[in-house]
Structure 1
Amino acid sequence: MQSEAARGVGAMVAACCIWGLSPLYYKLLAEVPAAEVLSHRMIWSLVFFGAVLAVQRRLREVIGAMNTGSALLRVVLASLMIGANWGLFIWSVQTGQTTQTSLGYYIYPLVAVVIGRIVFAERLSPVQWLAVALATLAVTLLTLGLGLLPWIALTLAGTFSIYGLLKKQMAAGPVVSVTAEVLLLVPLALMILLQSHHNGGTVLGGDWRIFALLVFSGPMTALPLILFSYAARRLAMTTVGLLQYLNPTLQFGCAVFVFAEPFGPWHVAAFALIWTALALYSGAALRQDRARRRAARAAAVSGTAV
């Protein structure tokens, strides 16, 4: 019989594979404007999440997630961050800039560390500071080499880091909170689709195949989140963090090997620095996790002896 940890790893790998291979999916929708794809994603995500919560008889929890002024403000800000993140990701894939999206999700953990230092005054080890410095050097090198700031990567990493910060402060679980977020975004999505229809756009995607892909964006958004939630309850956060690198790695593979996006010497140098930074950061996280486990075991033994 499979252990809980093994099932957690399987769920995490499945979630990251869906996220990492999603550029292939959104590339199929290149003929539909990114704003319309995003709008459909919001609407059908709400339908899917609502159905899941209805089956679980938890729909009332969505309103409960916004029952105070501060809770509502967090949900509003989180919805803006995730909406901007989703929209920019879709547009980047459609316009042949998936390499930047992979870079964004590679540097996201390091940006999150810096935000944690600024907001929560969390202490960083010398190795973590070195990882952040290498990531900064990589972005600087890419900017100087290509003559263009990798703003897509930085915006994706920044919006997702702020989103994670807001989620950390929410009492509601991930499925309930994201349902509340897309609920607030759906009116905007409907306005975008109505405006597109008014201007002669193909709100339903033009034909049934495209429309089916647009509808499926809801389950494709919801399923990995549910799998991630399942995995996070069964795995150490260090394991979750390491497995998450599968997502940008698959995105990188899509960009370079499937879409044949440009990947020259400056990209090679920058990504090498990023991968080195992540290796250092992950190694430090593993050592800290082992130290905490040893301390917990020692405390347990000491308590038993007493």
Structure 2
Amino acid sequence: MSDIDAETRRGLLAAMVAYGLWGLLPLFFRLLHHVDPVEIVTQRILWSLLLIAAILAARKSLPAFLAAMRDRRLVVPLAGSALMIGINWLTYVWAVNDDHVVAASLGYFLNPLVNVTLGVLVLKERLRRGQMLAIGVATIGVAILAASALTTLWISLALAFSFAFYGLLRKLTPVAPMTGLGVETLLLAPLAIAYLFWEAGHGGIGFGQDISTSALLILSGAVTTVPLVLFAVAAQRLPMATLGLMQYLAPTLQFLCGLLLGEKLSMGQMASFGLIWIGLILFAGDGIAAARRNRQATT
């Protein structure tokens, strides 16, 4: 197996695990339904920062982290990606805790299409005919889904575009995944600390109310860090088109979580999910056929 094939396999595995974990996040955040969504996000940031710092120290990567913080060419794009992921986190947690899990899943169904568009327009990636057909079918499905949920479409659009631009910025920024995530969380930390101080003086914070709530808020650091690191690994090893289409795994699981949590599903939504999965099957078939042709060409 060539080095390129090995890197691609690592990227595929990292993407599958990251999207699988993200797909199950609604079940985790529903356990924190009684905590202010903004506090949940700020707690995610601070506990993630502590975990990342510990990992960087264990790997003896703190010098690289400090060097990245002093490099304006890295800090500026990472400040942009930090802003994007902050918007994404806040929108997502609010949507889950306000019973809009299906709307959140629609955002992540839209996101791969935005990823593919950015890959073509910004990175000049080319699509095969089979890929274009798959994306076209999936786009029709997403359009039907959007039309059946106009009142919450802003949630979906905010999630789709914030995470698409996050992925693009991370792909274009030459920094190690853990180092980049450390810089992002450190840039967000002052805002998180300021909000917690403000909230403590206006009714109190959820952390410290009881053992289970505090434990879940601490765990949110790991829940946040692990899939983001895996996503950054995948983004550096896979084309944006492949990464975008694989992302349908996460919203599918989120959608199922929404049904499990009691949200209703319309006929339009059911039809759209059928079209989306047809698009995924077409995309997978095209990828298998392309890989077979490449193997035959090299033998």
TM-score normalised per structure 2:
0.84
> d(CA) in 2 for partners of 1:113 and 1:37?
31
> d(CA) in 1 for partners of 2:220 and 2:283?
33
Q: Name the residue aligned to 1:266.
A: 268
The structure-2 alpha-carbon separation of the partners of 1:226 and 1:178, relative to structure 1 and needing over 3 Å to count, comes to: closer
Q: Name the residue aligned to 2:50.
A: 47
The RMSD of aligned alpha carbons is 3.1
Q: How many residues are aligned here?
A: 292
Asked if residue 160 in structure 1 is aligned to residue 155 in structure 2, the reply is no
User: Following TM superposition, by how much is the alpha carbon of 1:146 offset from its aligned partner in structure 2, in angstroms?
Assistant: 4.0
Secondary structure in 2 aligned to 1:31? coil
Asked if residue 137 in structure 1 is aligned to residue 129 in structure 2, the reply is no
The structure-2 alpha-carbon separation of the partners of 1:292 and 1:154, relative to structure 1 and needing over 3 Å to count, comes to: farther
> d(CA) in 1 for partners of 2:133 and 2:243?
22
The structure-2 alpha-carbon separation of the partners of 1:231 and 1:164, relative to structure 1 and needing over 3 Å to count, comes to: closer
In structure 2, the gaps of 5 or more residues are: 1-5
> d(CA) in 2 for partners of 1:236 and 1:133?
18
The structure-2 alpha-carbon separation of the partners of 1:149 and 1:121, relative to structure 1 and needing over 3 Å to count, comes to: farther
Match 2:281 to one of 270, 279, 287: 279
> d(CA) in 1 for partners of 2:14 and 2:107?
23
The structure-2 alpha-carbon separation of the partners of 1:65 and 1:288, relative to structure 1 and needing over 3 Å to count, comes to: farther
Instruction: State the one-letter code of the partner of 1:166.
Output: L
User: Following TM superposition, by how much is the alpha carbon of 1:154 offset from its aligned partner in structure 2, in angstroms?
Assistant: 2.6
Secondary structure in 1 aligned to 2:169? helix
Instruction: State the one-letter code of the partner of 1:260.
Output: G
The structure-2 alpha-carbon separation of the partners of 1:235 and 1:181, relative to structure 1 and needing over 3 Å to count, comes to: closer
User: Following TM superposition, by how much is the alpha carbon of 1:188 offset from its aligned partner in structure 2, in angstroms?
Assistant: 0.6
> d(CA) in 2 for partners of 1:146 and 1:251?
16
Secondary structure in 2 aligned to 1:255? helix
Instruction: State the one-letter code of the partner of 2:102.
Output: T
The structure-2 alpha-carbon separation of the partners of 1:151 and 1:279, relative to structure 1 and needing over 3 Å to count, comes to: farther
> d(CA) in 2 for partners of 1:223 and 1:234?
17
User: Following TM superposition, by how much is the alpha carbon of 1:193 offset from its aligned partner in structure 2, in angstroms?
Assistant: 0.8
Secondary structure in 2 aligned to 1:120? coil
In structure 1, the gaps of 5 or more residues are: 299-306
User: Following TM superposition, by how much is the alpha carbon of 1:46 offset from its aligned partner in structure 2, in angstroms?
Assistant: 0.2
Q: Is the 8 A contact 1:196 1:203 kept in 2?
A: no
> d(CA) in 1 for partners of 2:164 and 2:189?
23
Radius of gyration: which is bigger?
Answer: 1
Instruction: State the one-letter code of the partner of 1:64.
Output: A
* Residue pairs, 1:289-300, within 5 angstroms: 289-295=291-297, 297-298=298-299
Percent of paired sites with the same residue: 39
**Greater CA drift, 70-79 or 279-288:** 279-288
> d(CA) in 2 for partners of 1:254 and 1:232?
26
Match 1:114 to one of 111, 117, 121: 117
